[in-house]
Amino acid sequence: MKIEQQWTEEIKSSNSLFSINIKEVWSYRDLLIMFVKKEYITFYKQTILGPIWFFIQPILTTLIYVLLFGQIAKLSTDGTPQIAFYLSGITLWNYFSECLTKTSSVFRDHAAIMGKVYFPRLIMPLSIVFSGLMKFAIQFGLFIVVILYFTFIEESIRPNVWVLITPFLILLMASFSLGMGMIFSALTTKYKDLVFLLTFGIQLLMYATPVVYSITSIPEKFKWIFKLNPLTGIFECFRYGFLGKGSFEFSSLIMSTINILIILIVGVVIFNKVEKSFMDTV
């Protein structure tokens, strides 16, 4: 007669797929700060110019865009100075794309430490988002200098009250990159070739986002396609606030907010599920 074996103890995670233990993450804030410092120091430790690259990269990219898209392609900038127009898009896009790219490989890049030491796994993608804010703050400061010049010296742009919503727009971008990054980080633990797809996808997404063009230059029958992109409402609101011109619809920003919240929730669910067993496949 076969006797069925009964387990006396069962060890399993007590966290549900939808749980985010904010209190535990906060208790590990020192670790979060350490990861942010490490991300910053290791990246620029052996560079000649160091943090100056934060300024050089957007300046050179802006000049190239002015030449290619402004002078050669003659894309509309809604009557705003081309330097201010392209720099606004570059400043936002650099932060989003860098956070998404780095977050999407968080399991693979940090498998060694995750497999040895316990800490809330959410700390890792959060540290990438926060470290990206340091670079964004520097480039945003450069953008503000350009805005002040064209506002008070050239008097060619007129910022409006919508600039006050900028912190919310940054929060939306951070949430979107965090949610998408966690989804791809979970998938790439099993399907590693998705890394190549993501790299290509980010390049395509830039051209589906009003980075180098205004949504007003899109034919009316195609605008609804571009508005499906959650970043469209963010970029248009940002430009409308600082440059004072453009096509901004509050409903578009509301839809972007709803879509980003859904993506963030899905990202958290998938991340919580994969973090329990990712060491078996990474």
**Scanning the structure block, which residue is given the tokens 């619809």?**
249
Per-residue pLDDT at 282 exceeds 90: no
Higher pLDDT among residues 155 and 5, named by residue: 155
Higher pLDDT among residues 262 and 120, named by residue: 262
Confidence of residue 86 (pLDDT cuts 50, 70, 90): very high
Between the CA of residue 85 and those of 177, 213, 219, what are the distances in Å?
A: 23, 9, 20
How far is 212 from 100, CA to CA, in rounded Å? Answer: 20
pTM for this predicted structure:
0.84
Domain boundaries, the chain: 44-280
Per-residue pLDDT at 119 exceeds 80: no
Per-residue pLDDT at 87 exceeds 80: yes
**Residues with Cβ within 8 Å of residue 168, at least 6 apart in sequence:** none
Per-residue pLDDT at 38 exceeds 60: yes
How far is 250 from 235, CA to CA, in rounded Å? Answer: 12
Per-residue pLDDT at 53 exceeds 80: no
* Digit-coded pLDDT (tens) for 194-215: 777 888 888 889 988 999 998 8
Whether the CB-CB separation of 92 and 239 falls below 8 Å is answered with: no
The mean pLDDT of 44-60, rounded to a whole number, is 74
Confidence of residue 233 (pLDDT cuts 50, 70, 90): very high
* Digit-coded pLDDT (tens) for 157-199: 999 999 999 999 999 999 999 999 888 888 887 777 777 788 8
Confidence of residue 8 (pLDDT cuts 50, 70, 90): low
**Residues with Cβ within 8 Å of residue 272, at least 6 apart in sequence:** 15, 16, 17, 18, 19
Please report, as a single letter, which amino acid is at residue 141.
G
Residue 126: its pLDDT value, please? 87
